[in-house]
Structure 1
């Protein structure tokens, strides 16, 4: 019997070794996924044992607050791990490294700027560093867009602002001095390329666009509007029409002169874009061409039916259109019509007879 004791002990030790080399790797793979194919058989066992030892540490939250963290190009995983621990983002750099190597994520850490939320685990941080999503996004508002077109661009913009919320915010009265007379933000959502945090919501987006308009509304521009007998609101309405009428920006001052001459003479503006604005629907905000029936559509925006300016801007005009209103060309023109060569340029005329002669054959 005594002779069997050493044999039994040897069997127990052998079973323990088998459990270490078989059962522990199985358990680790169940918890953390398969090991990297780059690892040799011996390395797989080695790092499986390390992860088994670190088990509770890998999933425990760090008790840290929100942190920003930058990884420089070419920075090694060891240095990154040490800096993460020093910043309080992870609890243990060794456990972080072991997890990276075991899973193979050590080869795909991305350089860039990160925003880590509070109380992340080592695994959370390791996975987050595989996809560097910029903290800010570029959001472009094109000249001539109406607010609905801006809203339609939001789902693919990367911003948190929802289209419906944006429209609600843009249609609400805003508290800027130059918005006196404006019932919505239409016309004042300044076209530009914006660098904005992804977390920008609808209210913040509208505020940013209108604030940018305010930054571009210089004293010289306001003086120019006043010299034309226009308030800021009226000037923006006219600029929005010019924006939609123009293809070549160099023509904007001349087009502005035509509309200003008509306004001073009490003529109707007869502008197609104002009718397009009135008729526009989702997916077809600027219907074209317009029929004779369309030109009779009863709307206060229809400048074929109603004299003077429409009640509000029809789009968000560019700086060039605003300058054209402030500094229009001096002319006797009352008419303009697109040239027949497809260039986007216009023929201008003083009389209706000349305007008719400019009609395409």
Structure 2
């Protein structure tokens, strides 16, 4: 057997040289790759910065989107890159953002329930025809940071509103409201019943607050017109008759505040000063005006009726006012009346109450209802008469008399007794 030839030194060096070349090639290829990546990233950053400048340099008040302000570039991270992509998409869809679902001004009530998500709200807006694209709405409120600020409440929206307008409206929740008319001449119990029926507030709790007259316990203060009210007196007479827009399911104190604020506006400081100039406290005015309110519904008669009571008080006569007896009698379960009618002569003398002006001289302890402005003005500006009596004529009006004899003749003529 022939011995194997030994490799030469040249042949032994070849593999080592090949490995070096391969390694060098890998290094060069890596450098080229990294340079390419760097170039792409750098070019993208430059292009994006230029795009930001282009947007920021062209502010448009009609645009739906809030862009980054000039001079405040955001760092290019995954989060901001996502924001940029959304912003770019919204720019592309800006015409759709500004296009309402319908050409109408009709408003509808839209309720957001507690715990409802932005996605659920968007879906219901689309279902109710207020928007046409729930996904676009979701992206818009996310981009504007509105999705995290949505709260439960009642809203008035319209299909004629754009997506940005609806989004802004959803940040301004309104309490559900109801319109309630409080007629002149109601006692506090009747007002409480109306409020209960309209779901404005708990009627019993409201009535308890009015009867207590304790405003400090519910954080109400600053009503100067209440300063002449006797200590411990109720707020009967201060529930000013008017048409109100009340929140639904409100606290009694909030509803009472609305009444007192309105009283303060309607019974002006000038009227109160005019009463004071006549030597009348506001509480006295309300007390007598409440009787006038219940006696006649005719505005032209009220100053005359007020003059009759002033004349009787000046002569030391009993007022003999039927409404004070009705107030003292209270609720009549047999007829469902708060103001019993008719009242018999026997009842005039048998109802034992400080409010019965047939038995007690002077004014009753306080108002028997809440009078309207016409009755209040009639007491502050009574007619100049010497009448001492009046009787109903049966047609809503009254006939007046100066003497008892004239009065008895009128009773016989108009009431047949």
Per the TM superposition, whether the score is higher than 0.5 is: yes
CA offsets per residue over residues 144-181 of structure 1, 9 Å max, x none? 0000001111232132x101110111112245332222
C-alpha RMSD of matched pairs (Å): 3.3
Higher mean Cα deviation, 226-235 or 318-327?
226-235
Match of 1:310 among 349, 354, 364: 364
Q: Which position in structure 2 is the counterpart of 1:142? A: 183
Match of 1:332 among 370, 386, 405: 386
Once the two structures are TM-superposed, the CA of residue 76 in structure 1 deviates from its matched residue by 4.2
Indicate yes or no: 2:267 matched with 1:213: no
Q: Secondary structure at the residue paired with 1:184? A: coil
CA offsets per residue over residues 16-56 of structure 1, 9 Å max, x none? xxxxxxxxxxxxxxxxxxxxxxxxxxxxxxxxxxxxxxxxx
- How far apart in 2 are the matches of 1:80 and 1:237? 63
CA pair 137-354 structure 1, distance change in 2 beyond 3 A? same
Match of 1:289 among 325, 342, 345: 342
1:1-361 alignment runs, 5 A limit: 61-62=116-117, 75-78=130-133, 82=137, 86=141, 112-113=156-157, 135-159=176-200, 161-173=201-213, 174=215, 175=221, 176-179=223-226, 180-182=228-230, 183-281=233-331, 283-296=336-349, 297-339=351-393, 342-359=394-411, 360-361=415-416
Kept in 1: contact 2:125–2:131 (CA 8 A): no
Once the two structures are TM-superposed, the CA of residue 265 in structure 1 deviates from its matched residue by 1.4
Once the two structures are TM-superposed, the CA of residue 70 in structure 1 deviates from its matched residue by 9.8
Gaps of 5+ in 1: 1-59, 92-110, 115-132
Q: Secondary structure at the residue paired with 2:133? A: helix
Kept in 1: contact 2:180–2:246 (CA 8 A): yes
Q: 4+ residue runs of structure 1 moved beyond 6 angstroms?
A: 87-91
- How far apart in 2 are the matches of 1:177 and 1:70? 48
- How far apart in 2 are the matches of 1:80 and 1:310? 68
CA pair 84-318 structure 1, distance change in 2 beyond 3 A? farther
Gaps of 5+ in 2: 1-114, 149-154, 159-173, 216-220
Matched positions, count: 260
Q: Which has the larger radius of gyration?
A: 2
CA pair 237-75 structure 1, distance change in 2 beyond 3 A? same
TM-score, normalization by structure 2: 0.56
Higher mean Cα deviation, 295-304 or 210-219?
210-219
Q: Which has the higher contact order (CA 8 A, sep 6+)?
A: 1
